[in-house]
Amino acid sequence: MVLITSVLVLLCLYFVSKVVYDTVSCYWLTPRRIKKIMEKQGVRGPKPRFIVGNILDMASLVSTSTSQDMDSIHHDIVGRLLPHFLVWSKTYGKRFIFWNGVEPRMCLTETDLIKELLSKHNAISGKSWLQREGTKHFIGRGLLMANGKDWYHQRHIVAPAFMGDKLKSYATYMVDCTKEMLQSLENALGTGQTEVEIGEHMTRLTADIISRTEFDSNYEKGKQIFHLLTVLQGLCARATRHLCFPGSRYFPSKYNREIKSLKAEVDETC
Interval 78-99: pLDDT, tens:
888 899 999 999 999 989 999 9
Beta strands in the chain (DSSP E): 96-100, 103-107
Last residue of one domain, picked from the residues 79, 102, 125: 125
**Is 0.75 topped by the overall pTM?**
no
Q: Over 80: is that where the pLDDT of 57 sits?
A: yes
Q: Establish if 245 belongs to a structural domain.
A: yes
Q: Which residues contact 159 (CB under 8 A, 6 or more apart)?
A: none
Point out the least confidently predicted range of 75-89, 108-122, 202-216, 218-232. 218-232
Q: How is residue 144 annotated by DSSP? A: G
- Same domain for 99 and 175, yes or no, is no
3-state helix, strand, coil in the chain (%, to 5): 70, 5, 30
Q: Establish if 89 belongs to a structural domain.
A: yes
Q: Establish if 27 belongs to a structural domain.
A: no
Last residue of one domain, picked from the residues 125, 151, 177: 125
- Same domain for 170 and 259, yes or no, is yes
- Same domain for 205 and 255, yes or no, is yes
Q: Establish if 46 belongs to a structural domain.
A: yes
**Sign of the alpha-carbon torsion through 167, 169, 172, 174:** negative
- Same domain for 178 and 87, yes or no, is no
Q: How far is CA 165 from the centre of its chain?
A: 31
Q: How far is CA 140 from the centre of its chain?
A: 12
Q: Angle 219-240/198-215 helices, nearest 10 degrees?
A: 120
- Same domain for 51 and 120, yes or no, is yes
User: How many helices and strands (H and E) does the chain possess?
Assistant: 13, 2
- Same domain for 173 and 82, yes or no, is no
Q: Which amino acid is at 92?
A: Y
Q: Establish if 225 belongs to a structural domain.
A: yes
C-alpha 70/C-alpha 100 separation (Å) is 27
Q: Establish if 135 belongs to a structural domain.
A: no
Candidates 240, 256, 251, 259; CA nearest to 100 is 240
Q: Establish if 208 belongs to a structural domain.
A: yes
Domain that holds residue 97: 42-125
- Same domain for 120 and 184, yes or no, is no
Q: What is the pLDDT of residue 47?
A: 92
Q: What is the pLDDT of residue 131?
A: 80
Q: Establish if 16 belongs to a structural domain.
A: no
Q: What is the pLDDT of residue 243?
A: 65
Q: How far is CA 264 from the centre of its chain?
A: 21
